[in-house]
Amino acid sequence: MDELYYMAVDLLKQLISTPSVSKNEKDAADIIEKFLQTNECNTIRHGNNVWAIAPGYDPTLPTLLLNSHIDTVKPTEAWTRNPYLPEITEDGVLYGLGSNDAGASVVSLAAAFLHLSTIVRRYNLVYLASCEEEVSGRDGIESVISRLPKIDVAIVGEPTGMHPAIAEKGLMVLDIEVEGKAGHAARNEGINAIYRAIPVIEALRDFKFTKESPTLGPIKISVTQIDAGTQHNVVPPICKMVADVRTTDAYSNEETLAVLRAKITGCKMTPRSTRLNSSSIPHDHSIVNRLGMMGYEPFGSPTLSDQALMPWPSVKIGPGDSSRSHSADEYIKLSEIRDAISIYVKVLTGLNLQP
C-alpha cells in the first residue's frame, strides 16, 4: 500500500502542475498514458480519454469499470495560492486545482487498478481516465462507450468521502419562451410578455410531480435566467427564460419534459438536451453492501457526473469532499488518498459480480 500511495501522490502532483481545463486535457492525458505504460499496462486512447484493460480478460465474466475525469474547471480569481503549484503543508494537505475534483479519485483508482490487475479476480477490470466531464462534452466518456468492452457496473471516482452515492440526479436545461405583442409603453398597446411570464415562473416554482424518488427526493426546478425587452418605451413582445431541472430516477428526462409541457401552459419549452439522465445502482449491490459493512453509508447525490452518460449501473465513490469542488484553494488530504486506495482494494478484492 505504501508504494501505491506514493505513486498516486506523485501522479497527482504532476496532474495539478498540468493545466487541464475541459476540452484542453491533452497534456494530462499524456501523463496518465505514460503512467499506465510505465507500469506495464497496455493503453488505448481516443482523443483525451485513456483506458487500460487488466490482463486475463474473459468475455464470459462480468466487467467492472473504474472511471474518473482528468479535466478541471477554470480557477477562480479568489485563489490565494498558485492553482497549478502542488503544495503540501506540514499537516498533510495537498493544495492545487483539481486535487479534490477529481484528481484524488483519478490517482487512487489508478493505484487500485494496478494492484487488482496482479491478483486473481472473478471479473474483468477496466480503468478509464476520461475528459470533458465538467462540461458534459461529447468528446468525453460518451465518445468511448462503444469502444469499451461490455461493462456490467462502474465505480465513478468523485469526492464523496468514500460513501457510496447510489443514485445521482440528472440535468435538463430548458429554454422557455413566452410570447406577447409589441406596443408603445406610453399608450394602452401591445401585450407585455413579462407580465405573461410571471404566472409561468410561479407555476414552475410551485409545480410538484406525482412521483418522488425514495433516494433523491423530488425533481427540483429553478428558473435561473430571464431576458426581455429592448428599450424602456417598448412593450416587450417576448420573454425568454432558462430553467435548471434536476431530474431523478422517478422519471426519465423525456418523461419529465412531457409532464412539464402538459402541465405548464402559456409558454414554449425547448430542452437543450435530454441526454443527462439520473443514474442509480441497486441498494443491495455487492459493492454497496461491502462498503456498508465498512461503515460507509449510501446516499443520493444532487450533483452531476459522468454517471449521467453511462448506460449501465454505476456508483459514485471517491476521496475528498464535494463542498471543496470548484472552490478557491481546493485541496485534498493525503490521508484521504491513502485511505481511498486501501478501501477500493478491500472492497474489490474477492468481489463476486453477477454476470
User: Which of residues 255, 271, 287 is at a domain's end?
Assistant: 271
Judge if 20 and 144 occupy the same domain.
yes
* Same domain as 174, residue 142: no
The count of structural domains within the chain is: 2
Q: Are 122 and 348 in contact (CB under 8 A)?
A: no
Given pLDDT bands bounded at 50, 70 and 90, which one contains residue 302?
confident
- The verdict on 322 and 253 lying in the same domain is no
Identify whether 353 is part of a domain: no
Residues 138 and 287 placed together within one structural domain of the fold: yes
Beta strands in the chain (DSSP E): 43-46, 49-53, 63-69, 87-88, 93-95, 124-130, 153-156, 165-168, 170-179, 183-184, 220-228, 234-235, 238-247, 268-271, 279-280, 299-301, 314-316, 331-333
- Point out the domain boundary residue: 229, 250, 271: 271
Question: Sorting pLDDT into bands at 50, 70 and 90, what band is 354?
Answer: low
Cell of 108: 487512487
Residue range(s) defining the domain that contains residue 46: 2-168+278-348
Q: Are strands 63-69 and 124-130 parallel, antiparallel or unpaired?
A: parallel
In terms of domains, do 60 and 114 share one? yes
Give the end of a domain, one of 271, 292, 308. 271
- Please report whether residue 146 resides in a domain: yes
* Residue 161 and residue 24 share a domain: yes
The confidence band for 355, taking pLDDT boundaries of 50, 70 and 90, is low
206 plus 226 within the same structural domain: yes
pLDDT at 188: 82
Tell me whether residue 355 is in a domain. no
Instruction: Report if residue 21 sits inside a domain.
Output: yes
The tens digit of pLDDT for each residue in 126-144 reads 999 999 999 999 999 999 9
21-67, pLDDT tens digit by residue?
999 999 999 999 999 999 999 999 999 999 999 999 999 999 999 99
pTM for the complete prediction? 0.89
φ and ψ at 11, to 5 degrees? -65, -40
Shared domain check, 180 and 95:
no
Domain membership of residue 145 (yes or no) is: yes
- Alpha-carbon distance of 258 to 60, in angstroms, equals 40
Domain co-membership, 147 together with 78: yes
**353 confidence band (pLDDT: 50, 70, 90):** confident
Are residues 325 and 182 part of one domain? Answer: no
Q: What is the CATH number of the domain that holds 70?
A: 3.40.630.10
